[in-house]
Structure 1
Amino acid sequence: MTLCTSTLGQWAINERRYLHQYPELSGQEYQTASYIRKWLQECQIELIDCEAPSVVGLLRGTDGRKTIALRADIDALPVTEEGEKPYLSKNPGVAHVCGHDGHTAILLAAAKWLSENRAEVKPNVLFLFQSSEEMLPSGAEALVRQGVMEDVDAVFGLHLWQPLEKGKIGISTGAMMASSDDVRIVITGRGGHGSMPHETIDPIYVAGQVIAAVQGIVSRRVNPIEPAVISICRMEAGTTYNIIPNQAILYGTLRAQSEKTRRLLAAELKQTIEALCEAWGAKGEVIVDWGTPPVVNDKAMSEYVATVVASHWGGEVLTHVEPVMGGEDFSYYLERKPGSFIFVGMGGEKSSFPHHHPRFDIDEDVIPTSTELLIQLVKHFS
């Protein structure tokens, strides 16, 4: 039986469109948080103290011996949105181009249904409307540190996923998404005139050697069956065409799907760069800004999701998704409690641009299904 009626589904879509127009960056979601708190209070859901701007609500179940947590991320990105849709962002340079507005609306709609049908809700339900998924410091890590997960038995979250075919619900057991760490490489040489490079220690030349060499870490130092990525994505060096600078700075990202490989990448990067720079008379410094751990789903909880999906929509809706190298701070919840992160497919004509693209948009057809999924996960949890 479908619990998310067309009325509730449209309510969620309307909420999503409102939220879409007023996006806020990570750590700055105070207007969004105020809006969420208002709705939770109207639903008579208890507000739990937590560090703003995250919002946590608790609905006490009829049994209450177990607690299930449901999470939505609420932050937007520093992107100028493009397109003609009537609900375009009203905040210049900020836009919901990843789907978090949809996640928030879906969890609000699930909270609304569960609060209106309390007699059918056996477990306690913790609603996590989490700040700062897109940028560090992580909002998930902060909530875990504040102890909101202490009495939780299982945690679930979903992501509306453009790369996955619309109509599919994707799960994985084990590693599903990668760790995400930022790296800064500072190469200090000795500048001089561009016509006399022999009198300098050229940090730009050394940087070129570094960029080539770090790819050997993945191909020659990491086990070939272990997914790993090192990407250098930005370089700063020099001020004009005929002066060799003193310094070059490279910026990049490290990705891995196991903690062991994550630590290996950082250690090998430091060793390789320091030695290479020294060979050319330069100094190399590697600064790793540790980000989010890998997202590793609990096998039993993913099997529980699969059972709920198959029994409610049929086995053809369910699909296994291969791990991706994107990062997600939902990993912090999974480090503390068993749970599962779920992809809801929406790829197709209505959602053809990738996540973080200025013209990205949600296929709103999947919002009712996503709301129904969260409700069913709660109703069948025991």
Structure 2
Amino acid sequence: MEQDKRPAPPARKGRGAVTNNDSHRFNLPSRQADGDWLDDREALGDSPTKLRTQVTTETPKSILSFNTSPDIPFDRSINAYRGCEHGCIYCYARPTHAYHDLSPGLDFETKLFAKPNAAQLLRETLAKPKYRPAPIALGTNTDPYQPIEKRYRITRTILDVMLETRHPVGITTKSNKVIDDSETLAALAALELTAVAISVTTLDPQTARLLEPRAPSPVKRLAAVRHLRALNIPVHVSIAPVIPAITDYEIESIVEAAVDNGAQSVSITPMRLPHEVAPLFEQWLEAYFPDRKNKVMNIIASLRDGKKNDPDFHSRMKGKGPWAKLLHHRLAIASRKHGLGKARFTLRTDLFQRPLVKGSQMELF
């Protein structure tokens, strides 16, 4: 296949994607970025062309998303936000922004959507007579503790409903801000209603800054693991994704650091590049790791049946071929060395208490 000879566009400090690559599945008209804005927090920096985060409030009519995927341990989830300011270049959720006629590139990390009525919608859903409880996952698409959570506190209000109704909830995040809700999480954990998975992709702060520019540092995430475990909250560490020739050498070190901070289990997910993530990631490689771009992409192809992505159930999470087997073998050895088993966080459903919704007939009793 002919290589693109065009020079890589310049990287933007503090952002993950290099461009707003507008070539995507829906063939919508190509458009230019809406311009550069000065960010109040960054105006004192050395670059006058920082993109400011914009947040749009939306009021959906439903909040639970259901799935029938056989390779994930939950069948329902809540995403309080669309888009994610963390800006992780590898994020598999980037393509969802194309549904809004926005770019999976810079738009995904700068033009966000928040759902302030999430907790109320959740209460109404849980109050329905036909609803049957099962663990709800937070953070399956975009991070529930990305920076704008400090302002909107939507995740916190969802957790309040979970505690009130004794409903099980699992959290996936790469932010130490999860400890802001330690009190609520500890109360849920005491009832065996929650577990937290914290993603640690690399221990190297420089690599983390390039991969996940606005996510908290690895040191802070590991400190969050330690903080949560001190409160008897179950914690899992996810090494996701493992990027060949860039972060794969760190598997054993991350396992050791996770155990040292109290993690009870560790898992890995090899790199995958669905839809528009592939060209964005290649641009990122060209900007930051041009010397090893071909090597990285060739190994990813070896993990994915010669392609950039494998959407098939089960194999999408594990990868295929010798490289995948080697990664999982290394994890198994490191886990045994540190006395780790597989993640088994069973959350209770038998404590569920259906909530009362204001104005409902149940308020009469």
TM over 0.5: same fold? Answer: no
Q: Which has the higher strand share?
A: 1
User: RCO (CA 8 Å, sep 6+): is it higher in 1 or 2?
Assistant: 1
Normalised to the residue count of structure 2, the TM-score between the two structures is 0.26
